[in-house]
Amino acid sequence: GQNIDQPTEMTATEGAIVQINCTYQTSGFNGLFWYQQHAGEAPTFLSYNVLDGLEEKGRFSSFLSRSKGYSYLLLKELQMKDSASYLCAVRVQAGTALIFGKGTTLSVSS
Amino acid sequence: GAVVSQHPSWVICKSGTSVKIECRSLDFQATTMFWYRQFPKQSLMLMATSNEGSKATYEQGVEKDKFLINHASLTLSTLTVTSAHPEDSSFYICSASAGGVETQYFGPGTRLLVL
């Protein structure tokens, strides 16, 4: 079976840095994705990693270690609007659907 | 990025009726579209994979005769929930891939409430 684990909830304060971890055990690997989802809305794409290392995009960075089956999403200079659910997803094979973790609900307070 | 639309965004229907949800890729041709369902406070669960011009592939536990999928063109896939029941109330989201594109683009979702 496919398994993707991430923490259920996290809290942080405005201006801080938060790291959301994701571990996966899947039958194959063709990329790891991070999405942001606000309540009642569809997910929006944040990042994509297929090779080991860090991908930086503004305040958001994502890291991948394929040998460890591990990724993290790093959010810097947190803002209240960053309060949302963050979904880690793996694509097992090119052209196939993404398999999602259960999501991490991040609450940012002032 | 690419744009995917869904229609309707909200639908309320009576138990036993059928509901059709459309998913369109607006500025690219989608060889493959995926249909997901999300219950409250849960993650997205894949229902089926829809390929243009061929039959959809359903995930285990998803009834193909209840959730009819048609992918008649490279920009449109439809999901019809037949004889809907209250337990079918959920958030239905489609995503589209152009094949070879790194990511999948999600539609805004359709919230279905069956009374």
Q: Are B43 and A87 in contact (CB under 8 A)?
A: yes
Predicted confidence (pLDDT) per residue in A35-70, tens digit: 999 988 888 989 999 999 999 999 999 999 999 999
Average pLDDT on A22-40 reads 94
C-alpha span between A62 and A47 (Å, rounded) = 7
Q: Reply yes or no on whether the pLDDT at B1 is more than 70.
A: no
Angle at A86 between CA B87 and CA A27, to 5 degrees: 80
CB atoms B43 and A100 under 8 Å = yes
Residues of B in contact with A100 (CB under 8 A): 43-45
Q: State how far the Cα of B11 lies from the Cα of B21, in Å rounded to an integer.
A: 9
**Looking at residue B68, what is its pLDDT?**
95
For A22-32, what is the mean pLDDT? Answer: 96
Mean pLDDT, chain B, whole residue set = 90
Flag if B43 and A102 touch (Cβ within 8 Å). Answer: yes
Contact map slice: B 18-37 vs A, CB within 8 A: 32, 34, 36
Residue A66, both tokens: 């394929």
pLDDT of residue A15: 97
Percent of chain B at pLDDT exceeding 70: 95
Task: Report the residue from A41, A87, A97 with minimal CB separation from B34.
Answer: A97
Closest-approach residue (CA) in chain B for A4: B43
Q: What percent of chain A has pLDDT over 90?
A: 86
Per residue in B19-62, pLDDT (tens digit) is: 999 999 998 888 889 999 999 888 899 999 998 888 899 999 99
In terms of CA atoms, which chain B residue is nearest residue A47?
B103
Residue A39 is predicted with a pLDDT of: 87
Q: Residue B98: its pLDDT value, please?
A: 67
Least CA distance to A46: which residue of chain B? Answer: B103
In three-state secondary structure terms, A73 is strand
pLDDT at position A20 is 98
pLDDT at A27: 94
Residues B64-103 pLDDT 10s: 999 999 988 889 999 999 999 999 999 999 999 766 556 7
Report whether pLDDT(B15) > 90: yes
Q: What pLDDT, on the 0 to 100 scale, is given for residue B51?
A: 85
Radius of gyration of chain A (CA): 13
Q: Let me know: does B47 contact B67? Beta carbons within 8 Å.
A: yes
Q: CB neighbours of B54 closer than 8 A, spacing ≥ 6?
A: B71
Average pLDDT of A64-88?
97
- State the smallest CA–CA distance between residue B3 and chain A in angstroms: 11
